[in-house]
Protein backbone atom coordinates (compact mmCIF):
# COMPACT_ATOMS: atom_id res chain seq x y z
CA UNK A 1 0.00 0.00 0.00
CA UNK A 2 1.38 3.40 -1.02
CA UNK A 3 1.70 5.89 1.80
CA UNK A 4 0.63 9.53 1.59
CA UNK A 5 2.73 11.72 -0.71
CA UNK A 6 3.36 15.40 -0.19
CA UNK A 7 4.81 17.87 -2.67
CA UNK A 8 6.98 20.88 -1.77
CA UNK A 9 8.56 23.55 -3.93
CA UNK A 10 12.03 24.52 -2.71
CA UNK A 11 14.33 26.76 -4.70
CA UNK A 12 12.35 26.21 -7.89
CA UNK A 13 12.47 22.44 -7.50
CA UNK A 14 9.30 20.47 -6.88
CA UNK A 15 9.87 17.76 -4.28
CA UNK A 16 7.54 14.81 -4.01
CA UNK A 17 7.82 13.04 -0.71
CA UNK A 18 6.82 9.42 -0.95
CA UNK A 19 7.19 7.29 2.15
CA UNK A 20 7.18 4.08 0.11
CA UNK A 21 10.26 2.74 -1.69
CA UNK A 22 8.18 0.59 -4.04
CA UNK A 23 8.30 3.02 -6.97
CA UNK A 24 12.09 3.46 -6.78
CA UNK A 25 12.64 -0.27 -6.37
CA UNK A 26 10.61 -0.91 -9.53
CA UNK A 27 12.54 1.71 -11.50
CA UNK A 28 15.89 0.29 -10.36
CA UNK A 29 14.80 -3.23 -11.28
CA UNK A 30 13.71 -2.10 -14.76
CA UNK A 31 17.22 -0.86 -15.53
CA UNK A 32 16.05 2.57 -16.67
CA UNK A 33 18.07 5.71 -15.88
CA UNK A 34 17.27 7.20 -12.49
CA UNK A 35 18.47 10.40 -10.87
CA UNK A 36 19.12 9.47 -7.26
CA UNK A 37 20.52 11.85 -4.67
CA UNK A 38 21.70 10.30 -1.41
CA UNK A 39 21.35 12.96 1.30
CA UNK A 40 22.92 10.95 4.11
CA UNK A 41 26.05 12.09 5.90
CA UNK A 42 29.51 10.94 4.73
CA UNK A 43 29.87 8.24 7.41
CA UNK A 44 26.55 6.67 6.40
CA UNK A 45 27.44 6.70 2.70
CA UNK A 46 30.77 5.04 3.52
CA UNK A 47 28.76 1.99 4.63
CA UNK A 48 27.30 1.71 1.12
CA UNK A 49 24.96 3.45 -1.27
CA UNK A 50 22.78 2.84 -4.31
CA UNK A 51 25.05 2.47 -7.37
CA UNK A 52 25.28 5.67 -9.45
CA UNK A 53 23.54 7.77 -6.77
CA UNK A 54 24.89 11.30 -6.40
CA UNK A 55 25.89 12.09 -2.82
CA UNK A 56 24.94 15.52 -1.48
CA UNK A 57 24.70 15.60 2.32
CA UNK A 58 21.41 17.06 3.50
CA UNK A 59 23.10 20.05 5.12
CA UNK A 60 24.77 20.89 1.80
CA UNK A 61 21.68 20.45 -0.34
CA UNK A 62 20.53 24.12 -0.36
CA UNK A 63 23.97 25.21 -1.59
CA UNK A 64 24.10 22.47 -4.24
CA UNK A 65 20.69 22.87 -5.90
CA UNK A 66 22.40 24.55 -8.86
CA UNK A 67 24.09 21.19 -9.61
CA UNK A 68 20.70 19.60 -10.27
CA UNK A 69 18.71 20.02 -13.48
CA UNK A 70 15.29 21.55 -12.70
CA UNK A 71 13.81 19.66 -15.66
CA UNK A 72 14.72 16.25 -14.25
CA UNK A 73 12.99 14.12 -11.63
CA UNK A 74 15.15 13.14 -8.63
CA UNK A 75 14.73 10.51 -5.98
CA UNK A 76 16.10 11.80 -2.68
CA UNK A 77 17.07 8.95 -0.37
CA UNK A 78 18.19 8.93 3.24
CA UNK A 79 18.62 6.48 6.05
CA UNK A 80 15.30 7.00 7.85
CA UNK A 81 13.05 8.24 5.07
CA UNK A 82 12.34 11.43 6.99
CA UNK A 83 15.07 13.85 5.82
CA UNK A 84 13.69 15.39 2.66
Taken in order 44, 8, 61, 74, the sign of the CA dihedral is positive
Task: Work out whether strand 54-55 and strand 36-38 pair parallel, antiparallel, or are unpaired.
Answer: parallel
Within a domain: 84: no
Q: How many structural domains does the chain have?
A: 1
- Residues β-bridged to residue 40: none
In a domain, 83, yes or no: no
Residue 55 is part of a domain; what is its CATH number?
3.40.250.10
> Containing domain of residue 66, as a range?
5-77
DSSP letter assigned to residue 22: H
Question: pLDDT averaged over consecutive 10-residue blocks of the chain (84 residues)?
Answer: 48 53 78 87 89 90 90 82 50
Closest CA to 34 of 57, 52, 8: 52
Report if pTM > 0.85.
no
Which pLDDT score, from 0 to 100, does residue 64 have? 93
Please list the active-site residues. Answer: 78
Amino acid sequence: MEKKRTIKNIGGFCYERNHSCTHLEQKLASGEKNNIVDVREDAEVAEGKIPDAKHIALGQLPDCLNKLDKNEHYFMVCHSGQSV
